[in-house]
Amino acid sequence: MMIASWLSGMARRVVLKSRLRSDFLLTADQLGHMALCERSRVDRNGSILSILRTTGSLTATPRANFSLASEQLQLRLRITDSAGISDDGRLMLLLPDTPMTGAIQVADDLRRILSTSLGDIQFEIATYPDEYSADDDSSSTRAFSVEKEGRCPTPPRGLELSHDSSASQVHRIESAEALFAWRCPAWKRAIDVVGASVGIAAAAPLIGAAAILIRATSPGGAFFVQKREGLGGREFKIYKLRTMRPDAELLKSELRAYSEQDGPAFKMMNDPRITAFGRFLRKTSIDELPQLWNVLRGDMSLVGPRPLPVDESQNCLQWQRRRLSVRPGLTCIWQIRGRNTVSFDEWVRMDLRYIRRRSFWYDLYLIASTAPAVVEKRGGR
> Interhelix angle for 63-76 vs 2-20, to 10°?
60
* pLDDT digit string, tens, across residues 281-336: 998 889 999 999 999 999 999 999 999 999 999 999 989 999 999 999 999 998 88
Tell me how far apart the alpha carbons of residues 178 and 231 are, in angstroms, rounded to a whole number: 7
- For residue 164, pLDDT over 90 is answered with no
Q: What is the DSSP letter of 196?
A: H
Provide the whole-model pTM.
0.76
Please, what sign has the CA dihedral across residues 51, 176, 124, 13? Answer: positive
Residues 251-265 have a mean pLDDT of: 85
* Predicted pLDDT of residue 213: 95
pLDDT band at 10 (very low <50, low <70, confident <90, very high): low
pLDDT band at 169 (very low <50, low <70, confident <90, very high): low
Whether the CB-CB separation of 170 and 160 falls below 8 Å is answered with: yes
Q: Which of 307-316, 327-336, 343-352, 366-375 has the lowest mean pLDDT?
A: 366-375
Whether the CB-CB separation of 20 and 27 falls below 8 Å is answered with: yes
* Predicted pLDDT of residue 292: 97
Rg (CA), the chain: 24
Average pLDDT over the chain reads 82
- For residue 210, pLDDT over 90 is answered with yes
* Predicted pLDDT of residue 217: 92
- Comparing CA positions, the residue from 303, 273, 267, 286 lying closest to residue 379 is 267
Whether the CB-CB separation of 236 and 296 falls below 8 Å is answered with: no
- For residue 55, pLDDT over 80 is answered with yes
More confident residue, 172 or 138: 172
Q: Which of 39-43, 132-136, 377-381 has the lowest mean pLDDT?
A: 132-136
- For residue 22, pLDDT over 90 is answered with no
- For residue 7, pLDDT over 60 is answered with no
Helix, strand or coil for residue 251?
helix
Residues 19-38 have a mean pLDDT of: 76
Residues 221-247 have a mean pLDDT of: 94
* pLDDT digit string, tens, across residues 118-142: 888 999 999 998 865 434 443 332 2
Whether the CB-CB separation of 135 and 142 falls below 8 Å is answered with: no
* Predicted pLDDT of residue 142: 28
Percent of the chain with pLDDT over 90: 49
Q: Which of 46-60, 134-148, 270-284, 360-374 has the lowest mean pLDDT?
A: 134-148
Residues 150-160 have a mean pLDDT of: 37
Backbone φ, ψ for residue 49 (5° rounding): -130, 130
Which domains does the chain carry?
A: 2-180 (3.30.70.270), 186-375 (no CATH)
- For residue 165, pLDDT over 50 is answered with no
- Comparing CA positions, the residue from 351, 344, 350 lying closest to residue 312 is 344
* Predicted pLDDT of residue 178: 82
Q: What is the DSSP letter of 290?
A: T
